[in-house]
Amino acid sequence: MAWLILMIAGLFEVGWAIGLKYSHGFTRLWPSVATVASMVVSLWLLGLAMKSLPIGSAYAVWVGVGAVGTVILGMVLFNEPANAGRLISVGLIILGIVGLKLAA
């Protein structure tokens, strides 16, 4: 259950990273509110998951899920480059996440 909570925390991390873009430096009210709410939920869920997972693995997976999701949404929503180097790098992050899960 802790791994599921951790994955959801990572998805909320994606939400606040993307929300930062939409908030325009916290100058737009509703995107800013949604961003801060995502931050709170993400950190709260991370804390819950860390009750039973190793801190190094939990934090790395949380950051990895957030990074992968943010890169992918950056490509989809903001027309960021989807070149081979970026896609290979995202694949390596995913392999790292899976490796940490299997090694925990």
57-97 tens-digit pLDDT: 999 999 999 999 999 999 999 999 999 999 999 999 999 99
How many domains are there within the chain?
Answer: 1
Whether the CB-CB separation of 70 and 14 falls below 8 Å is answered with yes
| Band (104; pLDDT cuts 50, 70, 90) | confident
Q: Cα(81)–Cα(37) distance, rounded to whole angstroms?
A: 29
| Confidence (pLDDT) at 33 | 98
Longest alpha-carbon distance in the chain:
43
What pLDDT shows up at residue 71?
A: 98
Task: Kindly report, residue by residue over 3-51, the tens digit of the pLDDT.
Answer: 999 999 999 999 999 999 999 999 999 999 999 999 999 999 999 999 9
φ, ψ for residue 66, nearest 5 deg: -65, -40
pTM: 0.92
Q: From CA 61, how far away is CA 55, in angstroms rounded?
A: 10
Domain that holds residue 79: 2-103
79 in helix, strand or coil? coil
CA distance 97 to 68: 10
- Which residues, other chains included, contact 65 with Cβ-Cβ below 8 Å and sequence gap of 6+? 6, 7, 9, 10, 11, 13, 14, 97
- pLDDT confidence of residue 47: 98
Predicted local distance difference test score (pLDDT) of residue 91: 98
